[in-house]
Structure 1
Amino acid sequence: MDKITEYLMQSLPANEARVTELEQTAEKDGVPIMDPLGMNFVMQLIRLTNPGRILEIGTAIGYSALRMLEANPDAQIVTIEKDEERFQQAKRNIKDASKEDHIDIVYGDAIDYLQQVKDSTFDLVLIDAAKGKYQCFFELSAPLLTNGGLILSDNVLFKGYVADSEKQHPNYQVIAEKIRTYNDWLINHPDFTTSIVPIGDGIAISIKGRGKELSYHA
């Protein structure tokens, strides 16, 4: 951990006991969840924009869905998970937190779900699933997004491998190349304005409607 990251980690607000427990469970079981800095950054974006409806692609154990709801307790969240074990674990965690009325967890493939849902709209989308499918997730989510809404893509710097093509790893550079291609496509998308923020593992913030006035829920 470098000095800046260490300093930022120390500046994070204290978590509730249930949040710390989820983080510890994820670490023990090797379940990838958003790192604390990235998660708190997303929560701050939610506080700023106050999205009424949120779509999450990649539930894992329900950690990020619960944290996003913490940032906006009035939000309605749809979160999709295709791994049955993680789906069941997330379902229990959401139930234990008594948040079933605000978080609808869907078991299945996100691409299938997005292809079937035509009449739903969302103010914010968080993409945090299979890296090689990011562009497909984005393309299918974009029509469901309100004008001025945000699509957030996590892990777009992927452990530093995206920025450093000479950094060697037997598997990571293959994933990094896919993300690099996605980032290039994203930055040049004609209907979105995108900024990549080097916090956590890298978060791309894409705003729908380049140059248009943003319209969030008050």
Structure 2
Amino acid sequence: MFKPDKEDILEIDAGFENLMHIGLVANNIKVGVIGAGKASLIKTKTFLKAGCEVEVLSPRFDKGFRRLRCECLKLKKEKFHKSFLKDKHIVVIGVSNKKLEKRIIWHCKRLNKLYLVCSDYKLGNLRLGAQERTDEFVFSLSIKRGNPKLSKYLTQKTLNFLQSFTIFCNWATNLREKLKHHPQKDQILEFVCSDDFYYFFKKGYANKVIKLFYEDV
């Protein structure tokens, strides 16, 4: 009988706090926001800033929505109807009516939507981490038990650290593109992405060290 190797047996934490961050190609993502209070406004700004297409559905709108100017934003002054969910990849639920909130969650589950509940993050299957981006990096950070202000503070600390690697990141990424069809691509990149090689990079010897080990690069 086949017996799996120990390395193939994964221990899975089934708890909600076992978060997994994914990278969305934002300009291909449609977001539906239901409710137009302050919490929904914050989430709307986050998705718009990333480049998502956002449609907000509500019978009333916080004045902050009226000040938003973005061609990717659509405001629809109506009550909730389940057809609103049809073409949305992600749903933000920001309503104060608990009965309506439960009904929207039920529809989202039935339609296999990714959904975020503003009143209580534990009710949804999606959380937005604090995010930062530069020309070379995009990253997100979340506190497992929930603490947005701390996430934002630590994200800035992380950004300051990562920025010291900006030049190296640009160089290594250009090298990866150059090695696209090289037979030893994976081996070379493994060699480059290490503390030992980064030491020589900072000293200005990156190209010489590469040539020393891989003459045809």
Which one has a bigger Cα radius of gyration? 2
Task: Considering fraction of residues, name the structure with more strand.
Answer: 1
Sort the TM-score into its range (normalised by shorter chain): 0.3 to 0.5
Q: TM-score, normalised by structure 1?
A: 0.40
